[in-house]
Amino acid sequence: MKLSVVALDYDGTIASKGRSYRAALDAVRKARARGVAMILVTRRILSNLKRILPEHDLYNCHAIS
């Protein structure tokens, strides 16, 4: 079994000033279509992140204390 996972930071990597980069979203969509699990890594509060990132469903988002 091959496991493919990519972890991305939110601020400054896929987004800036609360807005996602279009190229980053396109790349995430393409990777997911190929079966790659996308993990979003951030220190932001999950409920706040879901509010500012409408595409949060593209990532495996879970809060860790």
DSSP 22-53: HHHHHHHHHHHHTT-EEEEE-SS-HHHHHHH-
pLDDT attached to residue 20 = 85
Residue 3 pLDDT > 90, yes or no? no
Task: Provide φ and ψ at 62, rounded to 5°.
Answer: -140, 140
Assign 7 to helix, strand or coil: strand
User: Taking the model in full, what pTM does it have?
Assistant: 0.74
User: Contact, 45 vs 51, CB < 8 A?
Assistant: no
Please name which of 45, 43, 54, 55 lies closest in space to residue 11, comparing C-alpha atoms: 43
Task: Give me the residue spans of the domains in the chain.
Answer: 5-58
- pLDDT, tens only, 6-62: 988 888 888 888 788 999 889 989 999 999 988 888 888 888 887 877 777 777 766
| Residue 1 pLDDT level (bands cut at 50, 70, 90) | low
